[in-house]
Amino acid sequence: MRQNIRLGTVAGIEIGLNWSVLLILALFAWELGLYVFPARPGHAGAADWIAGVVGAVALLVSVLIHEVSHAVVSRHHDVSVRSITLFVFGGVAQLEGEAHTPGADFRIAAVGPLTSIVLAGFFGAAQATAVAAGLHGLPVAVLSWLWQINLLLAVFNLIPGAPLDGGRVLRAFLWHRSGDRVRASIQAARVGRGLGVLLAVLGLLTFFSTGSIVGLWPALIGLFVYTAAKAEERYALIQGAVGPLTVGQVMTVPAPVVQGAASVAHAAAVLWRSRCDALVVVDDAGRATGAVTARAVMAVPDELRPGHVVNDIAISRATLPTARVHEHMDALLERMVAHEGKPALVFDDDDRLVGIVSTSDIERAVALRTVPPGGARAGS
Ligand SMILES: [Zn+2]
């Protein structure tokens, strides 16, 4: 998930906002200020608009606290957290790596909805206190909405399909029962996929039968859950197929190289000949300075390729994941995901560059691993 706006750091974790959040924030402020909070819906005064903005921002902070709770418990279980990004339907805490035991997996997932329930209790108590103190009108309306929305967040996140928290709880349970993390991940993601379809269908049915735009929310959320669950299932399948292999078994060796000063057209020609979808970029002395991907080359139009040099579109070495030849792939897969799928440079024990692992290497390994031993059943 790309961070578009950086908000700063909390407990050493980068916090960012996706642009979509600003849109949702404005929609919530509008809805709350115009229809939810005013005594006569549709007739909003200045105070109603301010209450709308306060309510929307308080929701955003609630979601952030939910995500930070995941991050804090992750760290407690030695799973480091790179960043938290808030986006359209909530937040994502980007974990580097995975829980080491089903118990840790369970706690990291369950703390989120639990935190939302605690927040709901906090706002509920605040509302009761306000009412007891004789307050009425807007402050009470805002607090009332806040406990309800936090409770809704808790319930929504408890839906038992990955990637939602409830799905991770389900995965932890299945993992605990079978002892097989990969299989549990695939099963939980499949349930998530099914629930995503169900939500989308129910939302669309509501929309077409009542004409109410409210039905579009579950439909959009269903689509999001489906897409994320599918990606999660795919990742688990890759992990299952490639995870137990060593980096040396998967990498392209020797690493195809291209000079940083060479033209992009030349890089395209080298990519064409190599089976890899990334090249190691080297300087005049032959030292690796980074990598260039097929995607970056393809983004340069044909006619401009002779006029651009590889260094213009290369990824610098400092931002690439690295690996050791004898290391297992599951650790590298996690690092590659944390680096948004960038190729990894592979070094031997003497720190010499020996190969490269790109998405094409992983795809090839998955394809070969899923062919039954002995190959296709031709002639049987
Ligand atoms: Zn959560």
List, for residues 218-231, the tens digit of each pLDDT value. 888 888 889 888 88
For the cut 70, the answer to whether the pLDDT of residue 2 exceeds it is: no
pLDDT at 188 over 60: yes
Query: What separation in angstroms does the CA of 42 have from each of 29, 38, 220, 258, 377?
Result: 13, 7, 26, 64, 68
State the distance from the centre of ligand 1 to the C-alpha of 169, rounded, in angstroms: 11
Q: Does the pLDDT value for residue 151 go beyond 60?
A: yes
Sequence letter at residue 85: T
CA of 90 to the centre of ligand 1 (A): 8
CA-to-CA distance for 177 and 366, rounded, in angstroms?
26
The CA distance from 64 to 86, in Å, is 7
What would the mean pLDDT of 332-347 be, rounded to a whole number?
Answer: 88
Q: Is the pLDDT of residue 235 over 90?
A: no
pLDDT at residue 3 in the model: 52
Ligand 1 centroid from CA 83, angstroms? 14
Closest CA to 203 of 191, 217, 185: 217
Give the mean model confidence (pLDDT) for residues 322-348. Answer: 90
Q: What is the structure's pLDDT at 94?
A: 63
Ligand 1 centroid–CA 56 distance in Å is 19
Tell me the mean pLDDT in the region 202-214: 84
Please give the pLDDT value at position 379. 36
Contact 210, 267 (CB under 8 A): no
> How far apart are alpha carbons 257 and 115 in whole angstroms?
50
pLDDT at 331 over 50: yes
**328: closest CA among 234, 235, 242?**
242
Ligand 1: centre distance to CA 170 (Å): 14
pLDDT over 60 at 371, yes or no: no
Alpha helices per DSSP H over the chain: 19-31, 46-76, 102-132, 138-157, 165-178, 181-210, 216-242, 247-250, 264-273, 294-298, 310-313, 329-338, 359-370
- Say if residue 355's pLDDT is above 80: yes
Q: Which of 77, 116, 119, 112 is nearest to 93 (CA)?
A: 112
CA of 299 to the centre of ligand 1 (A): 36
With bands split at pLDDT 50, 70 and 90, how would you rate the model's confidence at 162? confident
Q: Considering 14, 31, 67, 232, which one is annotated as catalytic?
A: 67
- pLDDT value at residue 267: 95
CA gap 168, 232 in Å, rounded = 11
| Of residues 318 and 370, more confidently modeled | 318
How far apart are the CA of 78 and the centre of ligand 1, in A?
Answer: 18
Yes or no: domain 247-369 corresponds to CATH 3.30.70.270: no
Q: Report the length, in residues, of the chain.
A: 380
Active site residue 67: yes
The SS3 assignment for 277 reads coil
Q: How far apart are CA 73 and CA 23, in angstroms?
A: 30
d(CA 184, CA 160): 13
pTM, two decimal places: 0.75
User: What average pLDDT does the structure give for the chain?
Assistant: 86
